[in-house]
Amino acid sequence: MKSTVEQIRERFDKDVERFSNLETGQTAAMDSPLMLDLISRAAAALNPGATSILDIGCGAGNYTLKLLDALPSIREAALIDLSLPMLERARARTAERALVETIQADVRDVSLGVARFDVAVAAAVMHHLRTDDEWRAVFGAVYASLKPGGSFWIADMVEHSIPRVHELMWDRYGTYLAGLRNEAYRQTVFAYIDAEDTPKPLVFQLDMLREVGFRQVDVLHKNGCFAAFGGLK
């Protein structure tokens, strides 16, 4: 049995500081600052006049802040997160730079609207989806919420379809975590991943982006169990 939405929310309520550093990003994710930078640059390159953005699983607002830096034309930002403390921190960091709407909810339960946003981002959140139908529904809802020509960018943990490759990449990630702190930290991170997360392979997600309608998809970066990628409507 995986953690419930409420259990996941409770853990993130207590973890705001770890998600509030633009320089390091979320350190438990490999190459977090690089993925943050690449996604903000890609969004600026594809949607240089963007005025509205959607940040799914916004955490403390790092991706919104980077997009505001990369796209000074942004006027509105919709931020979704399970955690109220995360949303409060994100609002405090961004509200002076755009009209910010914060939504405390599970993205599976939110109506994202139609043709509202120029750019959507989702960092370290989609791996909480469970069934293929949930992935399809959320990707489809994001697609519908984008204006024509809008882009959707994801930075997340990915698994691998070939078991031996997955084992290799997982061992490599464990080495990274132990080096970041110690063996106890590796065990802690692996424990909450096992309890909470159900990541999908990168290829699955690229195929799903195409299936829901994105006309072009691309990969910005991949390192072991983590990838940054997206699609253009």
For the chain, which residues make up each domain, given as ranges? Answer: 5-158+199-232
Q: What is the pLDDT of residues 38-69, one digit of tens each?
A: 999 999 999 999 999 999 999 999 999 999 99
Nearest to 216 by CA among 156, 150, 134, 122: 150
Q: What is the pLDDT, as a whole number, of residue 214? A: 98
pLDDT band with cut points at 50, 70 and 90 for residue 152: very high
Contact status, residue 52 vs residue 74, Cβ threshold 8 Å: yes
As given in the structure block, the two tokens for residue 104 are 């405390």
Pairing of strands 216-223, 226-232: antiparallel
Please state the rounded mean pLDDT for residues 71-95: 97
Which segments within the chain are labelled E, that is strand? 52-56, 76-81, 99-104, 117-123, 146-157, 216-223, 226-232
pLDDT of residue 26: 83
pTM: 0.96
**What local confidence, expressed as pLDDT, does residue 17 receive?**
87
Average pLDDT value for residue range 172-190: 96
Q: Give the integer Cα–Cα distance in Å for 144 and 99.
A: 22
DSSP secondary structure, 138-205, as one string: HHHHHHHHEEEEEEEEEEEE-B-SSHHHHHHHHHHHHHHHHHHS-HHHHHHHHHHHHHH----BHHHH
Say whether 67 sits in a helix, a strand or coil. Answer: helix
Q: Select the CATH number that applies to the domain covering 5-158+199-232 from these four: 3.40.50.10860, 2.60.40.1120, 3.30.559.10, 3.40.50.150.
A: 3.40.50.150
**From CA 105, how far away is CA 165, in angstroms rounded?**
35
